[in-house]
Amino acid sequence: MDAPSMLWYLFTLMVGLCFGSFLNVVITRVPVMLMRSWRNEARASLELSAEVTPRFNLATPNSMCPRCEHPIVWHDNIPLLGWVKRRGKCAHCKTSISAQYPLVELMGGLLAVAVLALHGATGNALFIYAACLTLLALAVIDFRTYLLPDIITLPLLWAGLLYQLLFHPLMLPSAVIGAMAGYLVLWSFYWLFKLVTGKEGMGFGDFKLLAALGAWVGWPMLPLLLMLSAGIGAIVGLVAQVCSPHLRGQPLPFGPFLALAGWACLLAGNELMALYTSLLY
C-alpha cells in the first residue's frame, strides 16, 4: 500500500473514531430521553402536570461523568486517547468509566476503514457506513436496555429503501418485499412461540429491525441473515451460560445478533451469498 493510501485510511479511521464518540452520546441519551417522554405521556393521560427536569437531549448538557456528573474537559473527550489517558477512570471522582465508550469509538473507526476498503470512497459507501453505525447504536442500546427504539429503527428502514432507489433502482422491488417479509417472519415466529409456550420470545423492535435490514439487503438475503443471527445468538448464549451459570434462564436481546448479521451482509453480502448457495447446492 502506498503512502497516500495509508494516509487516506488513517484519516478515515480518525473520522470513524469521532463518529463512534458521537454514537456513545446517542446510545446513552436516547433511552433516557424516551423514558422521560413516556413518563410525561403517562402523567398527561392521568391529568397530572409534566415533570420539571433540566433540558436533556443529544446536545445538552455537555459530556460529564455518569457518576459524579462532573464535566469532562475537551482533552479527556478525545476518542480512545481520553479514556486511555485517564486509565478508564473519571478525572474528578476516580470512578471507573465503562469500556463501552472506547469500544464503540473503536468500532466506529474500524467500520469506516472496512467500508472504505470494500466499497471505496463513494456515495454508496457513505450510505452503507451510516447503516453500519446505526446498527452499532441499536445493538448496544438493545444490549443495555432491551429496547430497539422506533426513532432509530424506522429511519433505518426508510433509508434502506432510499439507498436502493438511488444506487440500485432495479433492487427496489426486492427491498420492499424484504422489508415486508422481514417483519412478517419474526412477527409469525413471535405469535407461534407465544401460542405454544405462553411466553414472548422477542420484542416488536426485532420485527422492525429485520424489516429495515430486509430493505437494505433485499429478500433473497433474508434466509442467510436469519441463519447468521440465530447461529451467532445460539453460540453466544451457550458460551454465556457455561461461563456464567447465573445467566441461565435469563433472556438475551436478539438485536445485537441481527446487527452483527446485518454488518456481514452489508459489507460482504455478495461473497456470503455465493458461499451460502454453494453449500446449499
| 77-119 pLDDT per residue, tens | 888 888 888 777 877 787 888 889 999 999 999 999 999 999 9
Instruction: State the chain's mean pLDDT as an integer.
Output: 89
The reply to whether 54 and 130 lie within a common domain is: no
What is the average pLDDT across 223-227?
93
What is the average pLDDT across 140-163?
96
What is the average pLDDT across 38-51?
84
Does pLDDT of 172 surpass 70? yes
Answer with the residue of higher pLDDT: 177 or 239. 177
CA separation for the pair 27, 101 (Å, rounded): 10
Q: What is the pLDDT of residue 4?
A: 64
DSSP code per residue over 7-51: HHHHHHHHHHHHHHHHHHHHHHHHHHHHHHHHHHHHHHHTT-PPP
CA–centroid distance for 193 within its chain: 25
Total domains, the chain? 2
The reply to whether 39 and 3 lie within a common domain is: yes
The reply to whether 22 and 95 lie within a common domain is: yes
Q: Please give the residue range of the domain that contains residue 85.
A: 1-121
Does pLDDT of 1 surpass 80? no
The reply to whether 186 and 109 lie within a common domain is: no
The reply to whether 114 and 133 lie within a common domain is: no
Last residue of a domain, one of 88, 121, 154: 121
CA separation for the pair 20, 28 (Å, rounded): 12
Q: What is the pLDDT of residue 247?
A: 65
The reply to whether 201 and 182 lie within a common domain is: yes
Is the distance from CB of 210 to CB of 183 less than 8 angstroms? yes
Does pLDDT of 156 surpass 80? yes
What is the average pLDDT across 42-48?
85
C-alpha closest to that of 17 among 84, 70, 73:
84
The reply to whether 198 and 64 lie within a common domain is: no
What is the average pLDDT across 214-229?
94
The reply to whether 80 and 26 lie within a common domain is: yes
CA separation for the pair 54, 64 (Å, rounded): 15
The reply to whether 8 and 112 lie within a common domain is: yes
The reply to whether 184 and 85 lie within a common domain is: no
The model's confidence at residue 2, banded by pLDDT at 50, 70 and 90, is low
Q: What is the pTM of this model?
A: 0.93
Is the distance from CB of 206 to CB of 186 less than 8 angstroms? yes
The reply to whether 113 and 178 lie within a common domain is: no
The reply to whether 67 and 86 lie within a common domain is: yes
Residues in the chain: 281
CA–centroid distance for 172 within its chain: 23
